[in-house]
Amino acid sequence: MFEDKTLQCKDCDSEFTFTAGEQEFYAEKGFENEPQRCKECRNARKNGARGEREMFTTICSECGAEARVPFKPREDRPVLCSECFAKSKENA
């Protein structure tokens, strides 16, 4: 029913393929418009809107190692490094 289509990216003017599988997915989701950007330009646009994430340095409450976290630590809550956090998830 669907066949691959070649489309042109509106940002970089390169050609990209809108595959039959992608078209089927769009139809299932009820999307009426074809994509206007290639995958690279879509990813760049998504990442550009997000911006750079501020990281905070703290000490892990479990092992005492230095940890970098994407939120401002509070003194009334324990903070775990990524390794201790992963271990706590395994034990839960």
pTM of the model: 0.52
Domain boundaries, the chain: 5-50, 56-91
Specify the pLDDT at position 78.
92
3-state SS record for the chain: CCCCEEEECCCCCCEEEECHHHHHHHHHHCCCCCCCCCHHHHHHHHHHHHCCCCCEEEECCCCCCEEEECCCCCCCCCCCCHHHHHHHHHHC
Q: What is the pLDDT along the chain (92 residues), one digit of tens a residue?
A: 899 999 999 999 999 999 999 999 999 999 999 999 999 999 888 877 666 778 999 999 999 999 999 899 998 999 999 999 999 888 87
